[in-house]
Amino acid sequence: MDYDTILQLSMQAMLLCLKVSLPVVAVAALVGLLISFLQAITSLQDQTISQSIKLVAVVVVLLVSAPWGASALMGFARQAMTAAVQ
């Protein structure tokens, strides 16, 4: 494996990490923002409400996006192993 291949695989790995984690981070941010907005309107300042709803939303997104993320990771691993063997 030469330097260019290692550099390309490293760049692809970092981009893949961003792509796989983006749905979870985006949903956590949006749900947190919505719950904070609703708490500000209703004057409820209990932090457990926000954390529990956000936890449920993140778990649902993880369950939905897990097959896509796993297939993307397997494709990258296959590509990396092919590059390592050649």
Report DSSP letters for 18-46, one per residue. HHHHHHHHHHHHHHHHHHHHHHHHHT---
The answer to whether the CB of 40 falls within 8 A of the CB of 66 is: no
With contact defined as beta carbons under 8 Å apart, do 20 and 69 qualify?
yes
pTM of the model: 0.81
**pLDDT tens column, 19-72:** 999 999 999 999 999 998 998 898 888 888 889 999 999 999 999 999 999 999
1's CB contacts (< 8 A; 6+ apart) are 83, 84, 86
Token reading at 62: 């993880």
Q: What does the pLDDT read at residue 52?
A: 92
The answer to whether 27 and 61 have CB atoms below 8 angstroms apart is yes
